[in-house]
A and B are shown apart, each in its own frame.
Chain A
Amino acid sequence: MTAVREGAAGQPAEGGAGAPHVRERAAGPLLLGVRHHGPGSARAVAAVLEAYEPRVVLIEGPPEGDAVAELARSEEMVPPVALLAHAVNEPGKAAFWPLAEFSPEWVALRWAVRRGVPVRFIDLPATHTLALSDADEPASGGGEEKPGGEGEETVPGGTDGGGAAGDADPASTHRKQGSGDGVRLDPLAALAEAAGYDDPERWWEDAVEHRGGGRGEGPVARPADPYEPFAALGEAMAELRAVHGEGGHERDLVREAHMRLRLREARKEFGDAATAVVCGAWHVPALTEATTVTADRQALKGLPRVKTEVTWVPWTHRRLARRSGYGAGIASPGWYGHLFAAPDRPVERWMTKVAGLLRAQDHSVSSAHLIEAVRLSETLAAMRGRPLAGLTETTDAIRAVLCEGSDVPLELIQDQLVVGDVLGEVPEGAPAVPLQRDLARQQRAVRLKPAAAERELDLDLRKETDAARSRLLHRLRLLGIGWGEPAGSRSGSTGTFRESWRLRWEPELSVRVAEAGIWGTTVHEAATAKARAQATEQGGGTLAEVTALAELCLLAHLPEALPVVMRVLADRAALESDVGHLAQALPALVRTLRYGDVRGTDAGALAEVAGGMAERVCVGLPPACAGLDNEGARGMRRHLDAAHQAVNLLARDDRDARDDKDDQAHRADRGDGDASGTGAEGPRPEPEGRPSGGLSSRWRGVLRTLAGRDRIPGLLRGRCARLLLDDGQLTDDEAERLMSLVLSPGTPPGEAAAWIEGFLAGGGMLLVHDERLLALVDRWLTEVPGEAFTDVLPLLRRTFAEYEAGVRRTLGELVRRGPVGDGDRGSGAGDGAPGFGAGLDRARADAVLETVRLLLGGARRDESEGVRV
């Protein structure tokens, strides 16, 4: 290593004097320094190749790729694609070299294979880069077992070796500074600064991408010698490297040594003039450096190796745009693609595309708009001193002219056009992707063979193997590989530790696996990446969908994806204005929490989100309950029950456990103030000074508010009262008071009946045991006026029909026996049941008989039994 570095420092690149090839190109190989993924570079490369027709093309990339280069000839290969190198034994260790339609490397590759010109990749072999990545990041271990999941750790090129096509190239280096590369020198930035630009990206666009062809008239109208710009660029880079040395890119020296060796071979074989090299502009000076073969060999000696394989995988524009992981860090692949593809007038054509998109979204855009937008972008470019309007100018113009200053439609444009939805394709013959290998390994490991015949599988999650199987199946489902579908459990067991699956391996699933290869090289990693993307990319869908995704993440054991999903979930919950949705999502979350326990997952984040969601339900519920019609009230009652259960479950596990006791004592009624500020009626406990209280106490406060407020439908008030009573939060006296309040003559009978339905639904034992309540209901019922009675009847019938036969019968008996005594409302008085008088007035009892028969409803048998007199 040291030897090389000295060589580089001691012999600055041979700038002008020692570089005869600059003018007289016949004297040396064609050195085409490019910006990776630069459309201008791509055009220029195409022009040079057309003009000089070299007999061999060398491309910056892993030499292992030579074997699969031929596939690029196929029509079925559609960029964006990526050259993927992975370690055979550890599919998780992989590096990608993405190529888009507008990448100079792709242009060169296609040109060469279509003409039968040999293609050679000349970068450091992946066998070394993959191995070196271990040395670079000893902490990250390797293989699919580590929790790294996506990107950075698994890709050796995350910081250097070539993860993105760029690695050490000028164009992408400065973009990568964010991912921990800040110390490196950004050669492009240095050049841009010299030219008086603050943004190196724009400088490159102005100086290189937009030059020459003028208003994009294509390669044909280039200056006489298409090689000239490359020569100039090479000189500039040479200057830069003379000043900055290797610029902190230490690995580059090794890579460049390898490039030189391969270049020498090619020159020997095909002659100088017939050799073309396409590589990052930064490397150009190094290729002309006068080092000796021995020195270069020396530099490559002793590099670690790992067995690797190379294949092509389809890529997407979105992944090109991603800044971390496998992304190439191109912010605007769609724009670049457009620049490359547009035969002329790129700005006008771009505006037309934008107009098409906006029109499809029902924005009215006229041709006059487009004319003005083009004019404005050109004026802006002129004012900013740029030769041609770039993406910034067009975006500014579109915002001002087409979008009326709003950023909302712009986001659509950004998403659909600037980035774009392009998906690449790879021909059938491409070698297997590592994901397939990994899947095969996993299938072996959990002893599940893919078979075309359908079979059922019952899993006991307490067993290690079964848990692993379940995880694998869930992950595959997440990846859209529907090998197993969850089935209803055959054993009928509802325990959370059981799972049933229906397995069936369809041949097309192999295709799915290949498609899923885009997400990563191991099942775990790919599922994690997919889950993250799903959560973030389309805003995650509805709240319920995100909740489901979170559940899936836990089931599939993807702890790395969980934080992202949780983040999105929390955001969605925050913006959700429908309490119903929140209340619906909450139980699923809480269930997931419980589930997580079974599987030994840490669900701390989940608990936090669930807690936050419960808070929001607490705040939002009272206003949401007001002014509902019958139908709405019934729906809300279900939400109320669900939320109640969920909150209780949450609170049970919670830190609140202790608080609860205090709260019971205090009877904190915080919800009252929370909800409306007007909770005038209803119990008013002493004011609470503490700024924080447990979740369950807050929830009870909400219930109390609801129970005591007039505007809330009777059904809900009754339900709240019941929930409080069941939790021991409402004394019997209090409950009786509430009931008598509702059942007093001032309340419309329909409302009262609804209250009774809410209060008594789901279990009649209450009435059996508290005869005072029964007496209240009884008394009220006798007082319902005749004309209202028919309205009330269905409600009551619905309430009582739900009870078990035994309960109904007991009730009937109680009613038959009649009240113990009107005057005595205390319990246990006299010889009758508490709350009832001693005597029985048969005549009166007979009178209500019909009513009771109707009330108790249900089967005839019950009636005859229950109300036998």
Chain B
Amino acid sequence: MTESHVADPAAESAAQPAPGTAAAAAPATALRPHAEDAFADELAALTEADDRPRPARWRLSPWAVATYLLGGELPGGKVITPKYVGPRRIIEVAVSTLATDRALLLLGVPGTAKTWVSEHLAAAVSGDSTLLVQGTAGTAEEAIRYGWNYAQLLAQGPSRAALVPSPVMRAMAEGMTARVEELTRIPADVQDTLITVLSEKTLPIPELGEEVQAVSGFNLIATANDRDRGVNELSSALRRRFNTVVLPLPETAEAEVEIVARRVGQLGKSLDLPPAPEGFDEIRRVVTVFRELREGVTDDGRTKLKSPSGTLSTAEAISVVTGGLALAAHFGDGVLRAGDVAAGILGAVVRDPSSDQVVWQEYLEAVVREREGWKDFYRACREVSA
């Protein structure tokens, strides 16, 4: 269980190449090697041990892909580290979806390892996680279909040589797994380019009177932030091409505390903040507050709460604690205290000044005030919310 956290936002946002074996396989210069390089030996061991039927052009059988993500021990004694810590069901459904040649849509709030899972799925299924389209508000159709090399185009007219294929096009031609990040950030008309790709499995090139037909083995994994709903809602035609898997937030408070503490430690180092070992209790408290409000029920399951409109994701908990650490380091005595995080929590919880305010007040009065040992926190919160 050492380096495997996967619900760890760190993993998503880059920083740290996971476990031990990585360095050897990856080029020494890469700040962050691709999944298929970092875990090359595990993939190789799995390929060797895997005797189950594989779908066309899959590097591994579905079972082996699931094992790669969830971890396990191979007959030879080789240990596969878990890449994703969470319900097994989710990975099984995801892998099965890819095997049925339907596209996979990973939904979840920020910080639930969507990108991480998608990268590893692509690495395990196709051995290549680099066929990636990053969705933004400015993503154009060329990024999904194809572009032109204009020098060539002007010199020789439209030809295959002048065409610049997109990652999706390449994946289709080679029977690989393509990835689209933040699908719902892409403008709706551009999103719909995917419909033909996913239903007809073909990409027409009218300029040449040709088309690229997907080879079996082609599939697509998209990720989307489900708190962004409504920004560029998927059209129902497109939605129908996807199987949706929702990645949940960390299941237990312990896991979440661990994730937050680790990430805060890393961030603190890069910001040159002094380490705050005594702050662990405060982290636990922040995580507790976030979890309780998010889930709408207290930890002991005895009191129902209203949930605020904000996400209260693990990633936000991390920024609250980091902010608190900075406060404590620069303006306090270096120890993370209730007062250092109170303002940050208030800011994260109260997004909508009218409704969230009530939620927060109720929480303060009904839960925090009564809770043993939280008196300092209650006072700090009242101070900042007054």
Contact = CB atoms under 8 A, between A and B. Distances in A.
Given A379-B99, A405-B244, A619 B93 contact: no
A691 B369 contact: yes
B93 A376 contact: yes
A405 B385 contact: no
B249 interface: no
B343 to A, nearest CB: 13
B244 A623 contact: no
A783 interface: no
B2 interface: no
Interface in A533-590: 570-571, 574-575, 577
Contacts of B355: 577
A575 B295 CA distance: 12
A401 B385 CA distance: 44
Contacts of A397: 93
B358 A396 contact: no
6 contacts: A380-B93, A396-B89, A404-B239, A575-B296, A623-B357, A673-B386
A575 B307 CA distance: 9
Contacts of B100: 372, 375-376, 379
Interface string A670-698: 00011111000000000000011000000
A379 B304 CA distance: 39
A383 B70 CA distance: 14
Given A375-B100, A383-B96, A400 B382 contact: no
Interface residues of A, number: 40
A827 interface: no
Interface stretch (B151-159, B253-261, B282-290, B360-368): B360-368
B306 A376 contact: no
B245 A574 contact: no
Contacts of A677: 357, 385-386
Nearest to A688: B382
A229 interface: no
Nearest to B363: A619
A364 B239 CA distance: 12
Nearest to B305: A574
A619 B382 contact: no
A141 interface: no
A396 B92 contact: yes
Interface in A379-405: 379-380, 383-384, 392, 396-397, 399-401, 403-405
B361 A674 contact: yes
Nearest to A622: B358
A571 B298 CA distance: 12
B97 interface: yes
A367 to B, nearest CB: 11
Most buried by A among B100, B236, B385: B100
Main secondary structure of the interface of B (DSSP, over half): helix
B270 interface: no
A396 B365 contact: no
Nearest to A573: B304
A383 B92 contact: yes
Given A405-B246, A574-B305, A673 B385 contact: yes
A574 B296 CA distance: 9
Interface in B54-105: 62-63, 66, 89, 92-93, 95-97, 99-100, 102, 105
Interface in A1-50: none
Contacts of B93: 376, 380, 396-397, 399-400
B223 to A, nearest CB: 12
Given A383-B96, A577-B306, 4 more contacts: A400-B243, A574-B304, A574-B362, A574-B366
A592 B236 CA distance: 51
A406 interface: yes
Contact of B366 (A375, A405, A612): A612
Contacts of A400: 93, 97, 243-245
Contact of A369 (B95, B240, B361, B362): B240
Contacts of B351: none
A825 interface: no
B145 to A, nearest CB: 24
A204 B341 CA distance: 52
Nearest to B108: A405
Contact of A571 (B239, B304, B366): B304
Contacts of A616: 362, 366
Contacts of A623: 354, 357-358
Given A372-B102, A372-B243, A616-B362, A383 B306 contact: no
B62 A383 contact: yes
A616 B375 CA distance: 20
9 nearest A-B pairs in the assembled complex, by CB-CB distance: A405-B244, A574-B304, A405-B246, A379-B96, A400-B243, A673-B386, A571-B304, A404-B244, A619-B361
A379 B65 CA distance: 14
B239 A619 contact: no
A366 interface: yes
Nearest to B303: A574
Contacts of A403: 244
A403 B239 CA distance: 11
Contacts of B236: 364
A571 to B, nearest CB: 4
Contacts of A486: none
Contact of B378 (A575, A612, A691): A691
Interface in B95-141: 95-97, 99-100, 102, 105, 107
B379 interface: yes
Interface string A612-636: 1001101110010000000000000
Contact of B245 (A405, A615, A620, A674): A405
Contact of A383 (B63, B226, B354): B63
Given A372-B102, A405-B107, A692-B369, A570 B304 contact: yes
A368 interface: yes
Contacts of A383: 62-63, 66, 92, 95-96, 99
A429 to B, nearest CB: 48
Contacts of A380: 92-93, 96
A619 B246 contact: no
A383 B97 CA distance: 11
A574 B301 CA distance: 13
A368 B303 contact: no
A616 B362 CA distance: 7
Contacts of B62: 379, 383
